[in-house]
Structure 1
């Protein structure tokens, strides 16, 4: 088996990546490190040079990026540079998958949907700016390090068991279960629910990452998305039906986000064409598994 380095392996997506790698890759054990501390990265790589890297670690929460844009840029851009340099010092010559975000596209006109990789990025929040900047950094390295295979993934919204409740679907699951348990009135506090998003199950997302490691073309950018537009309001009501509770939705102004995109639908044809990947997990399964995950946490 080949050695795989996963940054952010203790996070939501990282745990799913680690689980899927079992039996196919030898995951380099997590060690204490800081993307902003190059010495800690050298220490992590001291005893093993990976054949491939999936770089997930970063500051991923958009509201936090607005609160502290400087820290977001430092972690997501400078942290990526530190990782690349640490790998170069170690003699790395493998595949490097940088996990960016579909958020880099920013405000996209309805007539431009579905969003393809040729759509010009127009980031509208500091998080998206940091991810796009790190993309350009990685692509620059793909030119200057010809022995490396560097690829960019742009995942759209994804959900599944293990996600923190500051994201919309696990937050709704937590509130719905509190209603069912009699711990909360049947009023669910929400942000803007009359927007659409392209949701993909996290297990489909991580399968796409491994397919890219095996079959993706270096220097290329790939959307990772379902190609389906889902209204947030409808997803919440589906989840309420699965939880067997009757609810009303109450908008909370503190949950509204700046620079909100009204509709989102991506196109993953390039990913499918180059790797054969297909989304397999239905949205109903995702919603049910998110609910079950929060039942276990309680």
Structure 2
């Protein structure tokens, strides 16, 4: 199995899941070389020709939403054109295996609260260049399924968290502050944006297991929402981390972290994935947050 983006946050957990047998006893993890730019057509072609993968999990992406507004062209070149480059390289090599594309639940944009939770049947309405680029890449993969007969599947994971996530994202950013307060390196005040928004948070290790289930049991040409089905306030996650760390803190709202158009509530409906593959998340939110704090302590 070739994994693009193998050296990123999710890729590292996929590698661990392969070693643990989650992807099957005979699964082999083939990482696209660190530093390989998916926009490099020649480099991709050489990798595919040399590795001859029997399946592909395509994780590589520019996934930070604010950066997509700063540089939308880069985001499209990586997420959409990079995906096209990979598909073309695989086609030229005679690839005939399963291709799973990791998209994002962010493609749905703003969803009325009365229409939650979100399932595959909802029409995407992207609100960022990142989300729009993901839709473009999805359709490329599904077009390959329709016109080329490929065994291609799209996964739309919602927010995933866990040890090793970039501190630009909300939960690890809060965890850093909690750890600093617990160690006496900062006063008991957490700077945050609007932490009363809700999201569907899933442990990244459960996401890695979901990809394994899709590779084994998913149906070709389908789109699968991946999420816990539970709506959680960011504030509740913060208080749980404070409790786990043995501290009390107040929240100071940082205007720079506020997003006026942000979705207030979000929840996912992953029932189709559960029906087709049997997958469901198994890691408790307390375990996830505890592991994030442990990681943060050792990786300042």
Asked if these proteins are the same fold (TM beyond 0.5), I'd say: yes
Normalising to structure 1: TM-score of the pair? 0.96
User: Is 1:191 matched up with 2:197?
Assistant: no
- C-alpha distance in structure 2 between counterparts of 1:244 and 1:91, whole Å: 56
Partner of 1:113: 116
Pair 1:86-2:89 in alignment: yes
Residue 260 of structure 1, CA deviation: 0.8
| CA shift digits 1:30-87 (9 cap, x unpaired) | 3242111100101212322111100000100011111111111111000000000011
Secondary structure of 1:153's partner? strand
Task: Report the 3-state secondary structure (helix = DSSP H, G, I; strand = E; otherwise coil) of the residue aligned with 2:87.
Answer: helix
Pairing 1:173-212 to 2, within 5 Å after superposition = 173-212=175-214
* Contact 1:101–1:128, Cα closer than 8 Å, also in 2: yes
RMSD: 1.1
Equivalent in the alignment of 1:61: 64
Distance 1:271 1:154, change over 3 A: same
Structure 1 outlier segments of 4+, above 3 Å: none
Alignment match, 1:267: 269
Pick the aligned partner of 2:18 from 18, 21, 31: 21
Is 1:247 aligned to residue 259 of structure 2? Answer: no
> Residue in 1 aligned with 2:99?
96
Gaps of 5+ in 2: 20-24
Question: Distance between the aligned counterparts of 1:129 and 1:68, measured in 2?
Answer: 13
> Is 1:292 aligned to 2:294, yes or no?
yes
The answer to whether the 8 Å contact 1:60/1:127 transfers is yes
In 2, the alpha carbon distance for the partners of 1:281 and 1:29 equals 26
- Unaligned runs of 5+ residues in structure 1 are none
Q: State how far apart, in whole Å, the 2-side matches of 1:231 and 1:113 are.
A: 15
Aligned residue number for residue 22 of structure 2: none
Shift of 1:296: 1.6
Normalising by structure 2, we get a TM-score of: 0.96
Q: 2:228 aligns with which of 222, 226, 229?
A: 226
Which residue of 36, 41, 53 corresponds with 2:39?
36
Q: CA deviation at 1:18?
A: 1.1
Please state whether the residue corresponding to 1:163 is helix, strand or coil.
coil
Aligned match of 1:126: 129
- Classify 1:24/1:171 alpha carbon distance in 2 versus 1 (closer, same or farther; 3 Å): farther
Task: Tell me the alpha carbon deviations over residues 95-153 of structure 1, each in whole angstroms, 9 at most, x when there is no partner.
Answer: 0000000000111011101111101111111111110111111111111221x210000
Task: State the distance in 1 between where 2:298 and 2:251 align.
Answer: 25
2-structure distance, mates of 1:101, 1:28: 23
Match of 2:3 in 1: 6
Mapped to 1, the partners of 2:68 and 2:259 lie a distance apart of 12
